Amino acid sequence: MTIQDEFSFIKSITPKTYRQPHLVAGIGDDAALYRGDSNVEEIICLDTMIEDIHFSKKTMKPFHIGYKALASNISDIAAMGGKPIFYLVSIAIPKHWSAEELAEIYKGMENLAERFQMDLIGGDTVSTKDSLAITVTVIGRIEKGKHLLRKNAKAGDIVFVTETLGDSAAGLHLLLQYGVDYSFTKDELALVRKHQLPEPRIEIGQLLADYPRVALNDVSDGIASELNEIAEASNVSIVIERDFLPKSEGLEAFDEKEQLKWMLYGGEDYELVGTIPQEHWTSVEEKCKEKGFLITKIGYVENGPSKVLLKEAETYRLLEKLGFNHFRD
C-alpha cells in the first residue's frame, strides 16, 4: 500500500501518550514545547541517513533502518554523558516505499524510544523522486557542568573503549555478500545484529559523567578517526596498542588484516572511546564490571603534537583520520 495522504500518515505515527513530564505540547501544533530546567544543560544532535549511501534494502529491513537512525543520535548523547529525552523525525519518501515499510521504520525508532523513555515530538514528511532520506534530531539533558568533551584529554591519561570493535563492519561485509535474508550462523548473526541493531551506550556515558575530565567520542567513523578528533581537540598525542584492542569471537573468523582494518576504520560500532585520568581508571573498570559492561584499556596519552599512533610489538605506526567520509567515499 502506498501513502495517499500526508496528514493521515502523520496521525498514524503521533504518540497516544507521552513519557516525559516536562513536555508541554508535542505533535499537533506548529512547534513542540517543553519546560526548561536551570539545573541541566540541553544537548541537541542531528543525523541524516540516505538510501543506498547509509543503508539499503539488501542489508537492512525497514525496522533496522528506523532503529539505527535513532540509535546513531542517541549514541551522540551518550558521548556527552547525557540522557536522551525527545526526538524529531524528518522523512523524504519516494514512491517505491510502501506505507507498511514506513510503519516499520517508525516501529524501529519506537523500540529504542520506549527503552530510553523518549518522546517523539515533531518532524516533517515530504515526498521525493529518488532515494528515501531520514533525518533524526535528538534532544538530551545532562546535569550542569558534567558534560564530557573531546578537549579534556591530558598526558598521562588512560585510553579506553567499551565492548568490542569491528563487529559492525564485519556484519556489513556478510550482509553485502549474502543479503539480509540469508541463514547466518550464530557467530555471523551476532556480527550482523551489531550492524543492524547497535546498542547506544547511554548507561556507560552517564557513569563516566560522574568523573572529572573525561574526553569521549562515540565510534561512528572508526576509532582511528574518533581518537584523532580527541587528539586534535586536546592537542595531545595518543598511543594505542594493537594487542589490547578488544574483539569478539565472531571477528576472529576473518583474516587478521581484515580484523585490524575493521577495528580501526570500520565505524558504526557506536561504542564509546575516550580518555580518563589514571587515578580514576580502576574505579570506572569496577563499576562497569558490576553493571555487566565491558570496558578495556587500549593505550595512553602523551604530550606532543596532535596525532594517534598504533603500537605493534616495538614499532609505531601513524593512524590517519580515516573512516567513512561522505565527500570522499
Handedness of CA 166, 168, 172, 174 (dihedral sign): positive
The answer to the question of whether 195 is labelled as a binding residue is no
Torsion of CA 309, 313, 315, 319, to 10 degrees: -20
CB 254 within 8 A of CB 170: yes
Q: What residue type is 235 in one-letter code?
A: N
The answer to the question of whether 268 is labelled as a binding residue is yes
The answer to the question of whether 150 is labelled as a binding residue is yes
Cell of 117: 523513555
The answer to the question of whether 220 is labelled as a binding residue is yes
Beta bridge mates, 223: none
The answer to the question of whether 300 is labelled as a binding residue is no
The answer to the question of whether 221 is labelled as a binding residue is yes
The answer to the question of whether 243 is labelled as a binding residue is no
The answer to the question of whether 141 is labelled as a binding residue is no
The answer to the question of whether 181 is labelled as a binding residue is no
- Helix/strand number for the chain, H first, E second: 9, 13
Pairing, β 272-276 against β 215-218: antiparallel
Residues 6+ apart with CB under 8 A from 23: 32, 33, 34, 35, 86, 119, 121
Q: What is the 3-state secondary structure (H, E, C) of 263-296?
A: HHHHCCCCCEEEEECHHHHHHHHHHHHHCCCCEE
Buried/exposed 229-260: b ≥16 CB within 10 Å, e otherwise = bbbbbbebbbbbbbeebbbbebbeebeeebbb
Largest CA distance in the chain: 64
Q: Which residues are annotated as a binding site?
A: 30, 47, 54, 76, 106, 123-124, 150, 218, 220-221, 268, 324
Q: Which residues are annotated as a binding site for substrate?
A: 54, 268, 324
Q: Which residues are annotated as a binding site for ATP?
A: 106, 123-124, 150, 220
Q: Which residues are annotated as a binding site for Mg(2+)?
A: 30, 47, 76, 124, 218, 221
